[in-house]
Structure 1
Amino acid sequence: MSVPQPPFSGPDHSGHRARLRKRLAEQGGDGLLDHELIEYLLALAIPRRDTKPLAKALLAEFGGIGGLLTADAEALSRVSGMGETSIAAIKIAHAAAIRLVRAEVAAKPVLANWQALLDYLRADMAHRTNECVRVLHLNARNMLIRDEKMSEGTIDEAAVYVREVIRRATDLGSAAIILVHNHPSGDPAPSRADIEITRRVGQAGKPLGIALHDHIIIGAEGHSSLRAMGLI
């Protein structure tokens, strides 16, 4: 005959969490330190556990809140104490943040809203551990009509890359495009391959009336604009 188990009798964290909640309500996100934001987020997913040590461990493992939110599920699962529910909490927070900044980009012509675009790209790409190439497609009013990932891997692997970019732009009726990729090393300085692929895409689009506005490289240390550097 099984013996009923007593209710959970671990430490009561309700007082500490109530104080965090009060600071959050009164001061907004700036009222909490990074580890407290993550601690409270995790507490919503695993409420019967002290989540402060786990929050600190995650921030240390991924180098800060940016690296943590952009970490993939497999990497998160390797941290002791992270299960499906807590991983989902981290990823839903990241998804919500990305949608918020993406909405700002979509609301206005991209060229008149450049800082919002950079904020969006940094939030999504600056801390990725793999290289990702994406293309932003714009209409004749420079409004964003599509944001598509083209490939993952190194940008200089693409003999087919130029044809794919131009074919897709033609399919969508894009008047202009912006190339974007990230450097997992953190250094956004363009390589020779970056410069060469930019030149080739620009040349391929000209006869079809598809302008290449820029090629932006995102890294944890900042960003580079090939147009601002005089390379387009």
Structure 2
Amino acid sequence: MIRHFGSLRTIWSASAVALDKALAEVGGRGCESCGEGGWAVGAAIVAARHLAEAAAREALVGEAVDTRTPEFRHYLVRRLGLRREECVMILYFTGEGLFIAEDFYSSGQRGEVVIPLRRTVRRAFDLDARRLVVAHNHPSGSALPSDADVAATARMRAVVEALEVGLDDHCIVAGNAIASMRSMGLM
């Protein structure tokens, strides 16, 4: 697996599909000492990652979150920084900035991900969220927003703000780097 992914951090952030593919390429040997197939190794990695993500998310619940703090940026890097496919996270907050929940979407493709605007609005209403933050990754390694990122953010902002939900920021994560579209004056 190390030869396929290059590092433990990359294995940790790989999708279930990518793990299954890599394990199939090495013959599905997986955990030979315990007699399990390769799928069990991939499933265990994904389960451990989900547990760690839930623990990190739990630390945010009910807390006032500022997207500029090192703690929040570290959270985004851990969730998105090393993924090989583009993913988007929508984070929901109260009017006072208290974290409520997050939704995570992955297209399974390297070059694009779509912000599910209708689902995001519905979820914001269900949670009575008053503020949102969008975050997504660029597997290319450049955290700079593309023209498509800027256009999608403007469209989303127009829709949610017309419904009295604020879009606080759109953060782009590439490895350990984060670009804030708000800080860059792009929103």
Same fold flag (TM > 0.5): yes
Which residue is 1:205 aligned to?
A: 160
Sequence identity percentage: 28
Shift of 1:79: 5.0
Given candidates 37, 47, 53, the residue that maps to 1:92 is: 47
2-structure distance, mates of 1:139, 1:93: 29
Gaps in structure 1 of 5+ consecutive residues: 1-57
C-alpha RMSD over aligned residues: 2.4
The AA in structure 2 aligned to 1:109 is A
Shift of 1:126: 1.7
The AA in structure 1 aligned to 2:76 is L
2-structure distance, mates of 1:107, 1:116: 15
Which structure 2 residues correspond to residues 54-93 of structure 1 after superposition, within 5 A? 58-71=1-14, 72=16, 73-80=19-26, 81-82=29-30, 83-93=38-48
2-structure distance, mates of 1:178, 1:189: 17
The AA in structure 2 aligned to 1:75 is K
Tell whether the 8 Å contact from 2:85 to 2:106 is kept in structure 1 after alignment: no
Deviations along 1:144-174, one digit per CA (max 9) or x if unpaired, are: 212113562524x56xx43443333223211
The AA in structure 2 aligned to 1:121 is L
Structure number having the greater helix percentage:
1
2-structure distance, mates of 1:162, 1:99: 24
Given candidates 185, 192, 198, the residue that maps to 2:140 is: 185
Deviations along 1:76-123, one digit per CA (max 9) or x if unpaired, are: 423523223333332333233323322232252111783222222222
Gaps in structure 2 of 5+ consecutive residues: 31-37
Shift of 1:221: 4.9
Mean Cα deviation higher: 183-192 or 93-102 = 93-102
TM-score by length of 1: 0.65
- The answer to which structure, 1 or 2, has the higher relative contact order (CA under 8 A, 6+ apart) is 2
Taking a change above 3 Å as real, the CA distance of residues 149 and 86 of structure 1, as seen in their structure-2 partners, is closer
